Amino acid sequence: MAWKETHVMDERLMLAAEWLAGDLSKAEICRRYGVSRKTGYKIAGRYELVGPAGLLDRSRAPHVHPNAVGEEEEAMILALRAKHPSWGPKKIKARLEDIHRHRVWPAASTIGAILGRHGLVARRKLRRRASPSVSALLAADEANQVWGIDFKGWFRTGDGARCDPLSISDLASRYVIRLQAVTRPDESHVWPVVEAAFIEFGVPERMRSDNGPPFASTGAGGLSRLSVKLIKAGVLPERIEPGKPQQNGRHERLHRTLKAETASPPAADLRAQQRRFDDFRRTFNHERPHEALGQETPASHFAPAARSYSCRLKEPEYPEGHHIRRVRQNGEIKWAGELIFLSEALVGEPVGIAATDDGRFSVHFGPVYLGFLDHRATLIRKPIEPNANPTPPR
């Protein structure tokens, strides 16, 4: 007879009792209860060994898992997570493989399960994200093509002091070039940090920023005193479109990680906060694996720029045929007997004016287009594609 689900234990007990009594043959007992001789021997053996408890259903899970993570490896995973709370399973796996190459480490999914068992995984809500718009920004495919620069919003340290962290990073390699708390977020405090970066790492092709001060202004060409200095150092300023932080998404992502690891909560004072920034920069560049880099570190993809910094700011040169006008103290130039305002950021700088095919005159400061002069000697600042910044006509 087949087992009845509601009387499984009763059936097993009766089989074991008859088996041990020895009044019937084992084959007959097995036929009576509808089981194989192998099952009969197993039931009787368990009952004889541990009594009725041996007849309970047992887990089918193996007693030994050949691929199970050892206690030592699990402890190392948890220790690395404790040191870097924002790192996920992929980064932890890549870092452990780099440090302990003689060991075989589990898959990222297994590491994630370990973190989950210890309550170290916070489930995030999925958010809808806008797709970045097409722009004329230079694609940062190689190191030192484009550096990003920005302020990670200010906050107060434990003693109430205001902290304005200025960050500079190479967008291709994600290498953090500078991470410095400045006294004031203006040109006079930002430029020394930028210049120190040029001295140490050379000069990139472009520097990408948003449209706020001190990186840009409302004057002609959007130039600020800082961007004028960049041009004179041989760097072309790039600006993202207003309200489009995703156009500098790699640098923005750096800021999100920076906030989580250094300012949540802030340090006790500015000196302690700067030490956090320095530690973060070292870890981010040399230890933290980056998924977009094949789980390699930014330092393994970055090298100083080929162009060294001469520590001299050079005025732009213009092709033959350009009219040169030097900007006056009030930000104006004189053209065709008229005074035309350009920008206070250009005071003392030479601008180039060249005739166009339609009889007007285009105005440039180095490679940056400022606008054109019409027949009434009025500067027309025609909108151009974001960051297009056409070079002066040849």
Domain map of the chain by residue range? 5-55, 72-117, 146-301, 323-380
| 204-247 residue pLDDT tens | 999 999 888 999 988 888 899 999 999 999 999 998 887 777 77
* Alpha-carbon distance values, 394 to 171, 206, 232, 354 (Å): 31, 22, 20, 9
Average pLDDT score, the chain:
84
Residue 2's pLDDT band (cuts 50, 70, 90): low
Quick one: average pLDDT of 309-330? 94
| 39-98 residue pLDDT tens | 888 888 888 888 887 777 777 766 656 567 778 888 888 888 888 887 888 888 888 888
What CATH architecture is 146-301?
Answer: 2-Layer Sandwich (3.30)
pLDDT at position 146 is 95
